[in-house]
Structure 1
Amino acid sequence: MDCIALDGQLYGWEDTDMRILCNLGHGTHGAVEKVHHRPSNAVMALKRIPLTVNKTEQKKLVIDLDTAMKSGKCSHIVQYYGAVIGEGVVWLCMEVMDTSLAHLCDIVYKETKSSIPENVLGKIAISVVKGLHYLNSTMKIPHRDVKPSNILVNRKGEVKICDFGVSGHLVDSVQKTRESGCKPYMAPERINPESDVLNNEYSICSDIWSFGITMVELATGTFPYEKWVSPIQQLQQVVDGDPPRLPPDKFSKDIEDFVAKMLTKKVEQRATCVDLLEHPFVKKYEEEDVDMAGYFSTVMEKQCDLNENVQGH
């Protein structure tokens, strides 16, 4: 798959075709840069993921990359243009988005000391659940790594999920969660408390739990589990502790119930994507007109203002 598909045309991969414009960020899985692709004159995001898997896993990765290319029909999933597997690295070319919900949360809660309005949370929920439903029902794959940093937004008001499948094969393990000290977004059924290893199967049910944790974090600005010195203790909280809930009397009953139905520890009782799309919380905000473009643009402009003030001092 050493090529890029843009506007129905295929372009061969050459390092010299890419002109780096700026850094977009550096996440758990690798660095992301905004680049100009000279042959097509397109601007895109280029993500570099370190490759540490064997040849069998590389074959799975190629299948995932092919799946990613076919996911562009869904407006709630970041569009992928192509990928190259090189020596020790995977290069992903994808649609440029402005920021992640993780960064948006930091701006809103830590820097502006405000909160994300419930109607914005409603529109975010609709996009993410529809994206997960598309992956599950049409692409027949789970996401494996749902969290705020893997949900991207732009100034047009669009919300799109990214890093499904591809990064999942590279990072989907309890061991790597321990090593990196990541917050545990994994569902309890993904953590085996006796053998301390991942269960063999992964389903959309686990993605829904992860999105429930994400929604609590977006709504409150705080990760719902206590921070422990040991990542093992963090994982143990997921298995043994009560499932997180939104704080009472601060939100509508609809969003409280929506989150509770995702954060049900028994898999067979947890809501499905179809259940969530029929939930009153989703139905309400499907009908309500919310200026998502205005909200995202305003938050990002506040970040720019804050940066200018810091530099001025």
Structure 2
Amino acid sequence: MDRSKFGLDLSFTDLTSRVPMTDEEVEERYEKIRERSGLLTILGVEYKADLSDINELMELGRGAFGVVRKAQFKKTKTLMAVKIIPITGNAESNKRTVMDMDVIMRSHNCPHIVRCYGCFVSDSEVRICMELMSMCLDKLLKIALRFPEAIVGKITTCVLLALNYLKETEQIMHRDVKPSNILIDNSGSIKLCDFGIAGQLIDSRRALTNTKGCVAYLAPERVGSSESEYGIRADVWSLGITLVELSTGRHPYEGCSTDFELLAKINNDPAPRLEPSELYSKNFCAFIAKCLMKRSLDRPNYDELLLLLGCSVAFLLTVITRK
């Protein structure tokens, strides 16, 4: 990480927003995904498969969305993570499932987004076959206690490249940036995942606020401030909170006992800050401070943050278009 690139005095002007998918769009995307059910693409080769070709090995995790299992595709011996999501009568839950599948299946050109091999769709459930990663940063942080600045710098670059890809290529904002949605593999590659509440972007500068996403990482403009609209800079705030947590080992609002107290602090208190020390350079702290400006338009956008990190435009184009 080039520390000299932190702390540049930039002006920030644009705002990009999102509009939710309509029920008709959800149904249309679901049908397109269903048409490719059973088609797995591994190392550039497409295979026609059914569930008997997948050998499930062990459970990796479980949550409100469903369960993730480690599995192996028998034809190629490829290990993968299979995310199993039930199809329910809950329209919002099903919309999240469709969005997650749609984004991950269309983002195969970005090396900083978890790769999808394909999916199996039935009337009762969806199985998304993804590359197997080692661990999420939330769990790794419990082992490491905190990450050094150089490692946080690499994480920052990878996440920003993923977010920028979503915005520029797919016209999407993530809306749920946090350590548990950032994964690492055995080679040290950092990748973004979980796009179930991602929002479609538009250019009209209009978007209604809501509280989708983990409350502890929500930007002030999403929790009842005077700003009635939000865009990609809400994800920049979430990234800033994530960086503070990874750097210190503690979430800056961890002392809050209720969601109400948490939301009040986010909305009313000064933004969290890191102070320069032997652990954190002045420029690193300044970078985080830019991400955590209370007024959204005072925060940099993705391009500007990447330039602060020293990523040239040519480098960005190379990475984003890599097959």
Which range, TM-score by smaller chain?
A: 0.7 to 0.9
Separation (CA, whole Å) in 1 of partners of 2:54 and 2:210: 33
The one-letter amino acid paired with 1:141 is: I
Match of 2:224 in 1: 192
> Are residue 220 (structure 1) and residue 248 (structure 2) matched?
yes
**CA distances 1:38-80 after superposition (whole Å, capped 9, x unpaired):** 2343211111235556558746854652332121111111111
Would you say the 8 A contact 1:142–1:202 is kept in 2?
A: no
Separation (CA, whole Å) in 1 of partners of 2:45 and 2:92: 30
Deviation at 1:241, TM superposition (A): 1.6
Match of 1:43 in 2: 79
> Are residue 82 (structure 1) and residue 118 (structure 2) matched?
yes
Task: Note closer, same or farther for the CA distance 1:51–1:235 as it changes in structure 2 (3 Å cut).
Answer: farther
Q: Could you tell me the TM-score, scaled by structure 1's length?
A: 0.75
> Are residue 205 (structure 1) and residue 236 (structure 2) matched?
no
Match of 2:206 in 1: none
- Matches of residues 254-273 of structure 1 in structure 2 within 5 Å? 254-273=283-302
- Structure 2, unpaired ranges of 5+: 1-32, 200-208, 312-323
Task: Note closer, same or farther for the CA distance 1:59–1:153 as it changes in structure 2 (3 Å cut).
Answer: closer
Query: Which of 51-60 and 16-25 deviates more?
Result: 51-60
**CA distances 1:27-47 after superposition (whole Å, capped 9, x unpaired):** 564422110122343211111
Separation (CA, whole Å) in 2 of partners of 1:185 and 1:89: 30
The one-letter amino acid paired with 2:240 is: G
The one-letter amino acid paired with 1:134 is: Y
Match of 1:283 in 2: 310
Query: Which of 251-260 and 5-14 deviates more?
Result: 5-14
Alpha-carbon RMSD = 2.9
- Matches of residues 1-313 of structure 1 in structure 2 within 5 Å? 1=33, 2-3=37-38, 4-12=40-48, 14-27=50-63, 29-52=65-88, 54=90, 58=94, 61-62=97-98, 65-87=101-123, 89-109=125-145, 115-164=146-195, 166-168=196-198, 174=211, 184-192=216-224, 203-249=231-277, 250-279=279-308, 282-283=309-310
Separation (CA, whole Å) in 2 of partners of 1:92 and 1:202: 30
Separation (CA, whole Å) in 1 of partners of 2:54 and 2:103: 24
Match of 1:290 in 2: none
Would you say the 8 A contact 1:144–1:202 is kept in 2?
A: no
Would you say the 8 A contact 2:178–2:217 is kept in 1?
A: yes
Separation (CA, whole Å) in 2 of partners of 1:90 and 1:246: 42
Query: Which of 202-211 and 51-60 deviates more?
Result: 51-60
The structure whose RCO (Cα within 8 Å, separation 6+) is larger is 2
Would you say the 8 A contact 2:99–2:197 is kept in 1?
A: no
Would you say the 8 A contact 2:210–2:222 is kept in 1?
A: no
Task: Note closer, same or farther for the CA distance 1:16–1:158 as it changes in structure 2 (3 Å cut).
Answer: same
Separation (CA, whole Å) in 1 of partners of 2:224 and 2:80: 39
Would you say the 8 A contact 2:172–2:198 is kept in 1?
A: no
Identity of aligned residues (%): 38
Would you say the 8 A contact 1:48–1:89 is kept in 2?
A: yes
Would you say the 8 A contact 2:114–2:193 is kept in 1?
A: yes
The one-letter amino acid paired with 1:275 is: E
Query: Which of 64-73 and 248-257 deviates more?
Result: 64-73
Deviation at 1:141, TM superposition (A): 0.5
Match of 1:295 in 2: none
Matched residues, number:
265
The one-letter amino acid paired with 2:218 is: M
SS state at 1:46 partner: strand
The one-letter amino acid paired with 2:267 is: V
Deviation at 1:260, TM superposition (A): 0.7
Would you say the 8 A contact 1:132–1:273 is kept in 2?
A: yes
The one-letter amino acid paired with 2:310 is: K
Would you say the 8 A contact 1:49–1:89 is kept in 2?
A: yes
The one-letter amino acid paired with 2:263 is: L
Deviation at 1:145, TM superposition (A): 1.0
- Structure 1, unpaired ranges of 5+: 110-114, 285-313
SS state at 1:210 partner: helix
